[in-house]
Structure formats: structure tokens, C-alpha cells
Structure 1
Amino acid sequence: MKNTIKVMFFAVTLMFSAFTMAQSTVTGTVMDGEFNSSLPSASIVEQGTSNGTITDFDGTFTFETQASSGVLIISYVGYGKKTISFSDSINLGNIFLTPDNSLDEVVVVGKGVIDLAGGRETPVAVSTIKAAEIQQKAGNWDLPEVLKSTPSVQNLKSGGFGDGQMFIRGFDQTNTAFLLNGQPINGMEDGRMYWSNWSGVMDVADAIQVQRGLGASKLAISSVGGTVNIVTKTIDRKEGGFVQQMVANDSYTKTTAYFSTGVNEKGWSFSGLLGHWQGDGYVDNTDGQGQTYFFSVGYQPNENHTLNFLLTGAPQSHAVAGSGSIGEFLEEGRRYNSWNYDNVNSSNTLSSGAYPGGRNIYHKPVANISWDWTIDEDSELSTVVYGSMGRGSFAQAITSGDDVTYARGSNNNHDWFGLVTNYNNQLTENLNLNFGADVRLYNGFHFRDVREFISVDAVTANSGYSGGLDYELTEAGGINPWEVFFNQNNDHSQRFGYDYEEQINYAGVFGQLEYSKDNFSTFFQGAVSNQSHVRTEFLNVEEAGVSEESDKVNNLGYNVKLGGAYVLSDAHKVFVNAGYYSRQPFHDNLYQNNREGNTLLSPEAENEEITGLEAGYQFNGGSAISANLNVYHTTWDNVTKYNSNGEIGDAFLSYQTLGVKQVHYGVELEVMTRPLDNLKLNGFVALGEWQFKDNATLRTFDNDGNKVGDDEDIVIDGFNVGGAAQVTAGINGSYEFLPRFSIDAGWNWYNDVFSTGSLGVAPLSMPSYDTVDTGLSYKLLFGETGKTSLQFRLNVNNVFDEVYLESVNGTTAASAIESENYKGINRSNTGRFGYGRTWNTSVRFNF
């Protein structure tokens, strides 16, 4: 019946056209402006009509217009639309479309709570990476590696799988807000991100947007350095999928399969992904393995409502790399791992035959339900309800003499549920109102237990805790992430060392008012939140078996942002933004980490104060050239840090540092060019100056939580902030030398790098370094539409096998004896060298 209706429709259209006096025949070829290849199934529509067609396999089209002159709209998924005027019958020749840096073609569910920069007229410093580039360049890396060609972003790979770190404008991951489809995913207790817990996120990402600095987020979140929005697959418009096989250096292999039904006639859509990976790791004895799963169900009952259920997870385990001095790495090689044991008979033994000193095991499934409701033409409501259950452990080998006796598990589990909702109303033609709420309920479980018995059958816990009684540990929790998830140790009598829970509840409201008229736009934004904390102790208690609960702590926080932009002309735009955050301290900075673990630190940690200023200029010269220039100044003040050094002799000392202040400022320039139709060349430079300002105060506590000695002044004023390069630059480009056969390469340079270490000691200036990466891509099309294809990809990272110090955690000055130094750094400092040359290659069948 539907086919009959279509035939009748086209027949009527043709008859109408035949009797129309004024009409034209328009022909042309739609091309990929990036790779100079044809675009089959591109859409061509005559503006103001339903008259249109699609391109054939070669990207060409011919059709009769309804008027002798007018405008054609040419579009293709993943590319910016193009409008072309026509007059009389004409051959338009090659029409080049360029990849769209916005997210218009991505089906975003829960779009009101996913704070994308494109949703506001006033811009921010932003970079967007789309699915095609993620697919090409991600390979077997984590997300930070894909972002390293973004201004002021640096990735440190560290040791084992998923152990990398990312910095934005000199701030680490605890001060960068990470959002997954609008859901905050930084740790509620300490703000940290562990990429091993998210090893499958690259497989399901539709786009990743990096907002540097203040960003467009409306939540009161940890966006001191910036905000990273990860937008995953949800609803695909069309049916399709892929199967991909990847292999890489050090016996790495990964298999992934994905399929989506598209949206059917009743509005339903289903999609799913499964993957498995394993490998030996670049660093010796750091093998790992894991799985990825993703399942999505969408329902669109009508054009006003879109609902989606999503479930994704990435269970994994990997052996970790032990630290070592620079001298040890120079003697043993940069793959050196100081932390493993021989002659251990265990199921946890590595493929090399060694037993890992430590293994990370984790499984964190995340589920959410999203609802987008278009209330009317001026208002809409978006709501996301989410939950996650993290279960995992750090299994560390415990030795007695030369024997490994058992693997001790340091478990970090949690249940996390939340809701984010957002209402948007276009009050007038020029005024837009946006407000919503953010609620998070978090329960963390932390304890030590036995993961595996090796040369013993039981362990005696005789720490003196739990009423001073000794007791036997006879159960082992296992080292498999699926086992850890479904069989967590709920028996407090089988825990030792520490055993406590944390209840952290967060509730906030936010709002934004934006005015836009002609060439001017401005916005004002604010958020207020309350975060409560309760700590329950099970082990370090006066009476065995009787838990003790702390008093509840409530901390109020808020933020305000405002900004404006002015369009000077079609090619030139300027903007300025400012913001202030009063951010609650992390839970881990509130309580003493000792026998009196339920006792609040005194004085209590106060709210941190963040002030941000930024301005920018955007130039749009069309497909040939565009550029962004940003300047920023960020002050992070009134910071409290708390850490424990464990037992020192007969004492257990912990430290509270008050009044830490950092000032980060700099300038960023990125330029995007297309010198030739088949050549893209981009570059960036970021110049930063990141320093501590004023001095801080150090307080020391003993095992009973009592303050020891007098407060100490810590001299940090003028010291450089370490960890990431303050000056970076890069050039990357791609060239298509045959249809759908291209080569790309990127060069990144890092300068003004400083070590990390103890506060109060000046950091070391590390040697600068640069790396070169390259890749090859080929896409073979099948069928008349080109929808079915075979893609081949090869990535080679650090092509020239550059040897460089990636990080140094130490402050020992250079020795007067030159042989005791390495490029001006004392070899006794703890450090880690970056990876040498690595590669991965994949074949992907799209259908």
C-alpha cells in the first residue's frame, strides 16, 4: 500500500511539473570537501518546496526544479548544509561539503541536560571531535589520547591500560568536569577519573566536546580547567551496524560488533554493541583484558516526545606498572616494571609467568532513562534519570620473606543514583530562559579483604582495631571483574585494615537567561547546591560489631557566570565571559584518615574559590580558513589538601595543607585551513603561565587525630605548577591522494614542563619533547548507495621512537656529577618515560 502511495505521489508531482511553465534542469556532483570523494545519497531539495532528489553512487544528481530560478539546499549526515542559487538549466559542477563541527546530525537524547556549547549564542573556547575521527584515531587508546591535538590539553599515558591522566590548562582531572550524556561521572569523593573504568566509552561515542575554562555547563561542577562532554550513541535514524577487528603492538587484539534497527514505523529503535579486548601492555608485565557492552532502546511515540533507555559498561582487569627512579629506567629500558614476582603459582599469574605486584579490577555499569518533551514551539523539557553500581578492587601482592602469601584487596565500591532535568523557554524572539535541577545520591563502600590466597589458607588480622580482637580471614573475593561485581564481600568479619561507608547527597538548582538581538548576545547564569556528608565506621570502633556514624556535614556552594558576544561581520566574532565558583571541598578532605576516621578535621575544609575570565575572537573565512583566538585567566584559591603517609616508625601521621592558591593564565590560537581540495592542514599553539601564589599552612595529625606540633608555613609563592606542559603546539593534517585513500599526520610539541612533588620544594624544570603520529585510511564502497563499505585503518604513534621523560615526581636537584643526571634531571628522582613507537591496525565492515 505504501509503495502504491509513493508511486501516486511521484506521478502527481511529475504531472504538475509537466504543466509548469517555469522550470529548469539542474545537475551536479556532491563531494566530500575534506577528502575530495563523492558523497552518495546526499540530499538535494529545492528551497520552499518538497521537490528534491538524492545523489547516486558517484555523487551526481539530475532533477527538474519547479521554478526557473531559486535556491537548492544540499545536505549530508555529518556535513554542514550548503545553499546554492540556480537560474535556468545549469550544471553546478562539483559541490563541496565540509564536515560539520557542530552536533546537528547526531541524535542527542536528553539534549536539554547535555551542555553543548552550540546551544548558546555566546560562545566559549570549544573543540568538538566527531564519531568519524574518534573511530580513526582512537585505536586502542583511552579518550585523553584523542584530545591531545586540542589547545591546552595534554595526555600522560602513564603505565598500564587505562592509567592515563589528562590536563586542561594545567588542571588535572579532579578539576575537569566529565559528563556522559549529561551525567556527571567524576568521583563524588575526590573528583578523580579512572579511564580503566571507562575503557569502552570510545566504542559508543558519537561525539566528544571539550569546553576549556568556564564552558557552557549550567551545573555547579568541577569545571576549573574545563568540561568534557561525551555524547554516546542512542537513537540512530537508519538501520545499520558494523563489525571491526583490531590488532596492535604487544599482542593486543580487540573485536567489536554493533547493530542498530533505526527508527521503525511505530517509533521504536534498538541498538547494541559488544566488544572484547586483551593485550600484554606496552610496559612489561602489565597485561589486561576486558569487555564492552552497550544496549539502547528508544521510543518516539510522536514528534513531541523522545524516550531512551541506555545501559553500558566495561568490566576490565589489568596489572599495574610499579614506579621507579629515572636511573632504573635508563638501565632497564622504558618498558621496565619494578613491581612483579616470579615463581608464584596462581590463576592471577601474567602471561609472562610473573605475578603482578598490583592489579586493578573494576566493573561499573551505567544506566539511564532520558525523556525529551517538546511542550510547544517555544518550550521543551529534558530529563535524565541515571544510576551506576561500581564494584572493584586493587589487588596487591603481600609478601613474607621471598614468598607472595596472598593478594590484598583495597575495595572501592559505590551505588550512585541521580536526576538532571532542564526546562527551556523562548520567552520572546530575543530572550531565552533555561532552568533545572541536579540531584545525586551516592553511597561509597571502602574496605580491605583477601582477593586470593596463594601460599597460605588464611590470614590473621591483628591490627588492634575492632575492639582489639584478632580474627581469621578465610574467604577470597577473586580477581575477575564479573566475579567482583556479582559476589562482593558483604561480610564485615572478612574485612580488615579499614572498613567504612560514605553517604554523599547533592542537590542543586541552576538557571540561565540569554538575550540575543541582531549582532549582540549576552547571558547570565547561576547555580546553587548543597552537599551533605555522613561517614559510617565499621572496623575502627570501640565495640566490635557496632558501627559508629559521624555527624552530618552540609556544605553550600554556588556559581555565577555571565558573558557577551558581538558579531562584527559574517567572518568576525568576539566574546568575553566571566565566572565565579564557590565549590564545596571533596569528601576526602573533610575527615581524618586514621583510627578516629569519623572525626572532622579541625579547622574544617572551607569552600574553594574559583574565578575565571576569558575572551575570544573567532574568524570564519569559509572552507579555506578559520581561526580561534582565546585568552584566559583562572584563579583557584582557598584550597585544602589532605593526605596520609601511613605509619612512620611507630606513628601514623597525616597532613592538612590550608590556603593553597594557583593562578593560571594564557593565550590559545588554533587555525584550520584547506589549501587544496584534498588537503586539510590545522595548527595550534598554547602559551600558559601557571604558578602558585602566596604561601600555605601545613598541619600534622597523629594516629588518634590529635594535632602534632605547631602550624608550619609552606613556601610555594612563585613556584610553577607541575604535571603538564605550560607551552604546547601542534600541526596536523590529512591528504587524500586517491579517492577515499588518505594519509594523516600530527606533530605535538611540549615545553615548560615541571615536576610534581612535595609542596614547599621548588619543582624541577623538565626537558621539552615532541612526538609525531601518522595514519592511513582506505574506504571501499559496495552497492549502489555506498552504504555497505569496508574500512581499513593503520595508526602509528611516536613514529620516530622519541625517548622522552613524560613525568617526574620528585624535587631532588641536579647533581654536580654529570653522570648522575639525565638531561639536567637527577637520576634519583622518580619518573616515567613516555611510550616508544606503537601501532594498531583495524578492518571494519559497515552495513
Structure 2
Amino acid sequence: MKTMKNWLLSGLLFLMVSTVFSQGKITGTITDGQGPLPGANVTVKGTSEAASTGYDGKFTISSSTKAGQLIVSYIGYQNQTINFTISNGTANLGNIVLVANSNELSEIVVKSSVVDVAKDRKTPVAVSTIKASEIQQKLGTQEFPEILKSTPSVYATKSGGGYGDSRINIRGFDQKNIAVMINGMPINDMENSAVFWSNWAGLSDVTSAMQVQRGLGSSKLAISSVGGTINIVTKTSDQKGGGSIGSSFGNANYLKTQASYSTGVLENGLSASVLFSHTQGDGYIDGTQFAGDNYFIGLGYQTKDKKHDFQFTMTGAPQWHNQRSTFITLATYQKYGTADDPNTKYNSDWGTLNGEEYNMKRNFFHKPVMSVNWDYTINETTKLSAIVYGSWGRGAGTAATGGINGKFSTDASFRKADGTIDFDKIYAYNTGLPIQYNTNGVPTGAFVTRTKINGQYVNSANAGAIANSATGIPGGAPATSAGISRIMSTNEHNWYGGVINLDKKISEHLTWDIGLDARTYFGRHYQNVNDLLGGNIFYDNKNVNFQPQGRYLSETYSAAAPWNAWSNSDNVEKIGFHNDSKVNWIGAFTQMEYSNDNLTAFIQGAVSNQAFQRIDSFIYLTSDPLSKTSFEKILGGNVKGGANYNFDEHHNVFANAGYYSKQPFFNAVYPNNKSVVNPNLKNEKVLGIEGGYGYRSKIVNLNLNYYYTTWKDRNYRFNDGAAGNPNGYFDFEGINEMHTGVELEANSRITNRLRVNGMFSYGNWEYAGEAKSTRFDQNNVALSTSTLYLDKVKVGDAAQLTAALGASYEVLTRVTLDANYNYYNNLYASIDPTKFSAQDNKGSLELPSYGLFDAGFSYKMLVGKNKDNSVNFRFNLNNVFDKTYIAESKTNIFASDNINASNPALGTYESTGQVYNGVATANQVWFGFGRTYSFSMRFDF
């Protein structure tokens, strides 16, 4: 602590000395005409004298130049040059209003050429930018991806509704096919390209700006940008000195506290920035309590000659949250509500144990990421940028295993009248007490009692339907010996990578980039026991090394948020499965760009080689060659090109095209968790073509574009789970999709106080042609093959028509009201491809359209002797009119379908009244959230 104090005092001393020898101070406030722009960069032209604005938009520069020009830049706004003259030691420039460039991330803000951001009227891609102030204001209790919901072709939902369980879809492609980048670092999982937003719940606290590039985007890397790329630029350590303390609360006991501080750039070139926040709540959905923390550490150093800039960042978000992960039928929501007012908060995964919330489905994880960015200005025409990073993950998701006399924990026998699980009854049975099963929530019938095995209550994966099950207890154990446990499917991984890019200006108009992208990933996957729920010991007989006797295990492991993300699990007792995966990636990329006053054109190419290895000494003996496979290497890559032409300061057009050969995911290389390579491996082929028009003026900015994307040889499979083949799966070949659409985005500054923004997107996303379905057993042996008639079937899981209209108005100085309306139509359910074996199928189920209205209020109060600090108040009200709506459906059951396919005389769902808002009540759906609110207060100093 003493060292830290000395360092801070030294820094303050340097600042005071520099002030004494300067000509004076330049001060001012940067705004967008409505409010301050925190983090804007202000530089004295031709010098290294610079500053960043605080949360109030104010800046101060100690300048050695008596007169000159300031260059002001901010993400999403046009750079502005301001003349200044210092008189009597000061130059107060007052309010400086920047003009929005809605699609620009400034080169000055983003220093590294590793971070591929699109530039307005230059980069020929469709793009939208969200700035930090908008995230801070409007996110509230929403999930991080939801801040993008008012951008074209984006569909973001909360999915089951647990903390961080949200998902995003762009142009009809799910987030496994959307590249997510943080400061130039790819974060999609290297095994399956997944992004779990609960792992990144703290991003909203540390994001300086976020840019969504729809389509193949401008990234030079060979990444999974089929639907688009989300570029996230986090806070840097060289922002203006100062800090903030804040808190917010909302419905369902939501509470968040946050504190941050930055030193600013010291005289010696060092800078530091730290942030910590804590969030907790009961969850809007029943039984979804959560708690999470977020930390950010940024350290920076810039040499005096400005040639070298180093930025070290580390951020993480350890969290735990109870989930609603079991899909629920509409009829069940109605059962625990009413036919006209279903209980949309109902969760079938939870109950109480000893009076406390208990959920069979809990997720906990900690995935810190650490990176070092180095930018080296070699000379006026050559720049080298590099990032080296590491990410470590530790956590799991819990679930139930075992049963009681063949009844699972989700059985009606353990349901209370309100639909929650009677965990006290399960616990009582597990400890040997007699219980009665529930009928309609009431205990009825004969008492049942558990049997001990060798003097102990032994839990296992056996449901207790029969004695001496193959997965149960050996030696003729009775069925009544089985119990129910909560187990964890654990994921651990270590991930290291680096990107290096050389940017060379060959001539006045021509720039060449070349670079390398390397990554290595090790993942470990296994199950272990979390809670025996009163049992004494757990029996597992899945490990081939201990068969036929099996093992009796007594250790249980916590499901709390793990702060230690570097733990070693070698000595952890593993059940069910245990396998490791290794994925290596090496890629090279290059780009040539031509740019003059009116024309920008580029062509780029990337190639990558992925190598996949599976290690499994759990289902294979170590003497079996399949216990450790050799690396399966697959080559992929892309080529892209495009051009933008500015007719004048108002009008521009652009076009781009690209082709991507995309490697399959790990589970496609080694299907069904076995170590046999898929003999039908194919790269997915993606072709994208796009064109657009832009208009800019002082009053309105507008972008209109059209896209055409084909996706061929899509790798797709899912578990069978049917009787007779419970551990089998379906594999699909020849699934092709075509996604086309138009997008319009506009924003207008009607007056200095009134701003209006809007968007409209219409997509036509369909499957193309026929496909083939092959059913396999658990040993990857083909059982049957059938043709699937998917041509012209709508792609589900996202609204194909979206629209938004919003406005904000400064009613008084620093008092702003804003509102936004979002509309969704042409929303189709997810499809089960196996249901399309008939040519006369009904296609995809269309869900009801819906619209949501959000509103907010902001007030900034200036405080302090010089009014240079502020207290900020914000109130958000989402879904103001408490609209009930279906956000997604897992199933594809039509109202006109028979309720019993084998007995049509029973009628259809529609004829028997089993529909809700026109949708058959047998469908498994997620409802969206009703009305929610949040209120926040933040002190900036």
C-alpha cells in the first residue's frame, strides 16, 4: 500500500511540475448536443499533449503552446479541429458539440491495427455502433446482447431467463456463427464456437464501444463471421484520471454496486485503471437466483517518443446462477396460471430444500481473459501491432441423476401443487425416511422406504426401475435402493493465442497488411457429484478401468462461483464421462487496401489449419489406440473484397463479396463423444454478397443495404433419445440455407434537444433443396437413412422482420426523456429436421408477432466547488405495457395437427380448444419477460 501511495504521489508531483512550466491550461466540455461524451480524446495538434474527457465530458490539458489547434475525436463521431489561444494562463473553449458518424470507430481511439473496426464512408460493410454512454444508460437489468436489439437483423432473447443465459441471432444465424472479438481477440469457444454471455456478464461495465458488422465483416482473420462480427473495445488504462462509484436496483431484488478509478497518463508514460462490481438478485423467472462479480485491471505504458504503446488488460466475471433450462409446454404454463393468463415465470427445475431455493439446474463459471497489446510505430509508413492473450475457464452446469423406483426428480410424484419440486421429500427418502408420492401436489397412497446396501444409502445413475440395472448397483440390489443426486458436468480449459499484424503504407493511396493468427486450446470435460441429497455414497460403473466392480465415491464438490480459474482437477473423483480435447489453430492473413478522397477498395484473404485431438481413458482402456487419437487436421479459409465510393460529402455506395470455407466443430469431427473420426467430414461453404447506400447530412444519417448469403453443407446433428436408441443420434448431410434481406438504419438530430432513430429489416431465410438424415446407434453404426424435404422451409429461431423507432428529448438542461419501440414479425419456431420426411410437410411453425415499448429518464447533477464532478440518475422501464409474448419455440406443432397421430378421431389441437393465441399448447416455448425496471445512481469524480 505504501508503494502505491508513493507511486500516486510521484505521479501527482510530475503533473504539478509539468503544469508550472506550461504556457497554461486548455479546458472545455465535449458533448453530442444532448449529453457529455466520456472518454473522448483531445490532442494538441503537432504535439504529444493530450487528455481524455471524464464522465462529465470535461477535459483539461496543460499545454506548452500558447496558440494552436485541438483535435477532438470520439467513437461514432466526426473528428473536429478547434482553434485555441491561451490568455492569462487559460483557454476555456466551452461546449464542443461533435456530429455523429453512426458507423465509425475512430482510428485515434482504436490504436491497434489488430482491431478490425469499420470506418464510416470507407469500409464497405454494413455496420452499427453502440457507444459506452448508451450501454450505461439503457442496459439496466437487460442482458448484454439486448443492447443491440434496435440494430437491423438482430434478434436477442433471454432464452430460459437465467442470469447470462441470453442469446443473439444476426441475419438468421445463431451466435455460434457470429464472431465475437474483444480488443482484436476472438472469444468464440474453439471446440464449438459457442459464446456463453454469463461468462462475459461484466462486459457492459468495461466496454468503451461496441460495433456490429453484419455479414462476413472486415476482420482479416478466418473467423466464424457467417452472420456477423461483434467487435467490443474495452476501456483502456490511458483514459482521464478520476473515478466513479455507483449502485442500481431493480425488480426481483436486483442489486448492483460498482466502483472504478483511473490514474490517467502519468508523466513517466504509465497509466492504470481498475474496476470492480457485484451483482445479485432473485431473477425475474421463478427459482433463478444469481450472484456475480466483475473485475477489470488495465495497465498502460507509452514511450516518450510515442513509438511504443503497451496495454495490459485482465477482466473476469465469476458467477453462479440458477437456471430454467428445461423447455416447458404452453399447456404447463396455463396449468400453473390460467388458460388466458399463463404463468410465464414458471420454472419446472426448482423447488425448496429446508426452506431455501434449490434448483437442479445451476450454472457457475469463471473465465478470465488476460491480454497484452503492443503497438509499434516503426516509421511514418510502417506499424506493427500484436496481441498475446490467455483465457482460462473453470465451472460446470448441474443436473439430476438417478431416480426413486423409476421416478425422476421431475416426475409428478415429486411436484407440489404450485408445480415446484418437493426436494424435502426427495431428501427424506434418500435418508431412509418413509414418504408418500404426490398426486396433484398432495401426498397420497402407500408409504415407500429406501433400502440400504451394505449399511449405506447408495446413490447412482440408476433410476431404480429394476433391480441390478446395468447402470445401477451390482449384486442383485433391489430397485428401492436407488436415490436422486445432483451432479455436475464440468468444463475446464486453458486457451492461449496471439495475433500479429504488419501494416505498411506502400504509397500515398496503397496499404498492405500481413499477419499471423495462432491459438492452442486444451479442454477437459467430466462429471462429478455435487449433492447426494441425504445419501451416503455414490456408485459409478461407467469407467471401463473399474468394470465390472465399479467404484463407490464419497466426495462432493461445490457449485459456487469459482474464483480460482487455474485449479487442477487431476485428483477430482469423476463419474459418467471424462474426456479431454485439444484444438490447435494456425492462420495467416493478408489485405491490400487502396484509398483516396472518394474511393476505398480492398481485397483480403486468410487461411487457417485446425487440428483436433480427442483423449479418453474413461470409456477406452489406455492400451486401446482410441484412448488418444492423432490430430485430425482440416484446412479452411476465406477471401473477401469490396469497395466504397463517396460521390460527395452526402452520398456514398458500397459493395462487398466473400467466400468462406469453414471447418466443422469438434463434435462433428468426433461424433457422439467417441474417438472415431467422422468419415463424412466436409467444410461448410459460405458465400456472401452485399451492397449498400449511405446518406449523411447535419440533420440525418441513413444507411440502406441488401445482402445475399448462402450456407452449404451445414454440419448439424442432435441426440436421438428415443426408446430403443437412447444414446444414439441423427446426423444430417446436405443441409443448405439461403439468407437474403434488406436493412435500413437512420438517425436524425431534429433539434439540439430532440433526436430520433429508427431501423427496419426484412429477411427471407429459407432452407434450400433436400437433405439426408442418417440415424446412428451409440457405437456410431448407421441404422437407417431417409430423405428430408426442406426446400423453401423457413429457417426458425429468429424474427425475419424487425423494426424499431426511438427518440430522446432533453426537456431541461441535463434532464432527458427517451423511449423506444421494437416490433418483431415473421418469427418461426426451431425445426426438427427428422419431421420433414414427407414432401407435403407444413413447413415451419410461425409464432405470433409482438411489439415492445421501453422508456427511460436521465438526470445529471453537477456538484463540487467547480462543478467538475457529477451525480447521474437513470431510470429504465422495459416492456412498459407488460406485453405477454412468445420469444421462441423449440417445437414445430401446428394447431391443425392431430393431438394423437395414431387416433385422428380425437381431433386436432384447434378443434379441441388446445391453443393459445393460435399456437398449439403442446409446443415447448419460452415466454419473454414482462415489465421490468431499474434505477441507478452514479457519482463521477
Structure-1-length-normalised TM-score: 0.89
Stretches of structure 2 that go unaligned for 5 or more consecutive residues are: 1-13, 85-91, 337-342, 405-413, 415-425, 428-483, 837-842, 896-908
1:325 aligns with 2:329: yes
Instruction: State the match for 2:134 in structure 1.
Output: 133
User: Given residue 141 of structure 1, which amino acid in structure 2 is its aligned partner?
Assistant: Q
Aligned 1:686-765 pairs, distance under 5 A: 686-709=761-784, 711-759=785-833, 760-761=835-836, 762-765=843-846
**What SS class does the counterpart of residue 482 from structure 1 fall into?**
coil
Q: Residues 544 and 476 from structure 1, CA distance in 2 versus in 1: closer, same or farther, beyond 3 angstroms?
A: farther
1:644 aligns with 2:719: yes
Instruction: State the match for 2:507 in structure 1.
Output: 428
Larger % of strand: which?
A: 1
More displaced stretch, 462-471 vs 364-373? 462-471
2-structure distance, mates of 1:557, 1:339: 41
Shift of 1:464: 7.0
1-structure distance, mates of 2:41, 2:229: 34
**What SS class does the counterpart of residue 333 from structure 2 fall into?**
helix
Instruction: State the match for 1:446 in structure 2.
Output: 525
1:155 aligns with 2:236: no
Shift of 1:699: 1.2
Q: Residues 652 and 533 from structure 1, CA distance in 2 versus in 1: closer, same or farther, beyond 3 angstroms?
A: same
1:600 aligned to 673, 677, 688, which one? 677
Instruction: State the match for 1:473 in structure 2.
Output: 553
1-structure distance, mates of 2:676, 2:243: 54
Residues 31-87 of structure 1 show CA distances to partners (whole Å, capped at 9, x for unaligned) of 844317899999798x899999999999999xxxx99xx99767476654445899x
2-structure distance, mates of 1:313, 1:274: 10
**What SS class does the counterpart of residue 152 from structure 2 fall into?**
coil
**What SS class does the counterpart of residue 701 from structure 2 fall into?**
strand
Share of identical aligned residues, percent? Answer: 39
Residues 242-294 of structure 1 show CA distances to partners (whole Å, capped at 9, x for unaligned) of 11111111001111111111111111111111111110000000101011111
1:780 aligns with 2:861: yes
2-structure distance, mates of 1:373, 1:40: 23
2-structure distance, mates of 1:362, 1:59: 39
1:34 aligns with 2:37: no
1:310 aligns with 2:320: no
Residues 289-339 of structure 1 show CA distances to partners (whole Å, capped at 9, x for unaligned) of 011111111111230101122111101111111321012123331110011
Alignment check: 8 A CA contact 1:588 1:642 kept? no
Q: Residues 679 and 654 from structure 1, CA distance in 2 versus in 1: closer, same or farther, beyond 3 angstroms?
A: same
Instruction: State the match for 1:253 in structure 2.
Output: 255
Alignment check: 8 A CA contact 1:794 1:839 kept? yes
User: Given residue 774 of structure 1, which amino acid in structure 2 is its aligned partner?
Assistant: A
2:923 aligned to 826, 829, 847, which one? 829
Shift of 1:479: 0.8
Aligned 1:163-178 pairs, distance under 5 A: 163-178=165-180
User: Given residue 754 of structure 1, which amino acid in structure 2 is its aligned partner?
Assistant: Y
Alignment check: 8 A CA contact 2:58 2:868 kept? no
Instruction: State the match for 2:435 in structure 1.
Output: none
User: Given residue 127 of structure 2, which amino acid in structure 1 is its aligned partner?
Assistant: V
| RMSD over aligned Cα atoms | 3.4
1-structure distance, mates of 2:214, 2:242: 34
Q: Residues 785 and 556 from structure 1, CA distance in 2 versus in 1: closer, same or farther, beyond 3 angstroms?
A: farther
User: Given residue 612 of structure 1, which amino acid in structure 2 is its aligned partner?
Assistant: G
More displaced stretch, 135-144 vs 827-836? 135-144
1:489 aligns with 2:569: yes
1:387 aligns with 2:390: yes
Instruction: State the match for 2:730 in structure 1.
Output: 655
Shift of 1:641: 1.2
Residues 559-606 of structure 1 show CA distances to partners (whole Å, capped at 9, x for unaligned) of 000111111111001010000000111111111315xx1011222x20
Aligned 1:405-554 pairs, distance under 5 A: 405-463=484-542, 465-466=544-545, 468-469=547-548, 470-482=550-562, 485=565, 489-491=569-571, 494-542=573-621, 548-554=627-633
2-structure distance, mates of 1:451, 1:248: 31
Shift of 1:526: 0.1
Q: Residues 435 and 472 from structure 1, CA distance in 2 versus in 1: closer, same or farther, beyond 3 angstroms?
A: same
2-structure distance, mates of 1:242, 1:485: 28
1:766 aligned to 840, 844, 847, which one? 847
2-structure distance, mates of 1:371, 1:60: 27
Q: Residues 41 and 107 from structure 1, CA distance in 2 versus in 1: closer, same or farther, beyond 3 angstroms?
A: closer
Q: Residues 598 and 131 from structure 1, CA distance in 2 versus in 1: closer, same or farther, beyond 3 angstroms?
A: same
2-structure distance, mates of 1:318, 1:48: 52
Q: Residues 237 and 606 from structure 1, CA distance in 2 versus in 1: closer, same or farther, beyond 3 angstroms?
A: same
Residues 687-741 of structure 1 show CA distances to partners (whole Å, capped at 9, x for unaligned) of 11000001111112112221113x2111111100001100000001110001111
2-structure distance, mates of 1:490, 1:661: 43
User: Given residue 599 of structure 2, which amino acid in structure 1 is its aligned partner?
Assistant: F
2-structure distance, mates of 1:36, 1:226: 30
**What SS class does the counterpart of residue 132 from structure 1 fall into?**
helix
Q: Residues 553 and 794 from structure 1, CA distance in 2 versus in 1: closer, same or farther, beyond 3 angstroms?
A: same
Instruction: State the match for 2:370 in structure 1.
Output: 367
Alignment check: 8 A CA contact 1:168 1:212 kept? yes
Alignment check: 8 A CA contact 1:407 1:452 kept? yes
1:795 aligned to 876, 879, 895, which one? 876
Instruction: State the match for 1:340 in structure 2.
Output: 350
Q: Residues 406 and 48 from structure 1, CA distance in 2 versus in 1: closer, same or farther, beyond 3 angstroms?
A: closer
Alignment check: 8 A CA contact 2:720 2:726 kept? no
More displaced stretch, 172-181 vs 480-489? 480-489
User: Given residue 328 of structure 2, which amino acid in structure 1 is its aligned partner?
Assistant: G
Alignment check: 8 A CA contact 2:382 2:505 kept? yes
Shift of 1:7: 6.2
Instruction: State the match for 1:192 in structure 2.
Output: 194
**What SS class does the counterpart of residue 117 from structure 1 fall into?**
coil
**What SS class does the counterpart of residue 141 from structure 1 fall into?**
coil
Q: Residues 450 and 30 from structure 1, CA distance in 2 versus in 1: closer, same or farther, beyond 3 angstroms?
A: closer
Instruction: State the match for 1:17 in structure 2.
Output: none
Shift of 1:650: 6.1
Aligned 1:176-325 pairs, distance under 5 A: 176-302=178-304, 303-321=306-324, 322-325=326-329
Instruction: State the match for 1:611 in structure 2.
Output: 687
Q: Residues 537 and 562 from structure 1, CA distance in 2 versus in 1: closer, same or farther, beyond 3 angstroms?
A: same
**What SS class does the counterpart of residue 718 from structure 2 fall into?**
strand
1:841 aligns with 2:843: no
User: Given residue 606 of structure 1, which amino acid in structure 2 is its aligned partner?
Assistant: K
Stretches of structure 1 that go unaligned for 5 or more consecutive residues are: 14-26, 346-351
User: Given residue 282 of structure 1, which amino acid in structure 2 is its aligned partner?
Assistant: Y
2:358 aligned to 355, 358, 364, which one? 355
Residues 7-43 of structure 1 show CA distances to partners (whole Å, capped at 9, x for unaligned) of 67649x9xxxxxxxxxxxxx99978443178999997
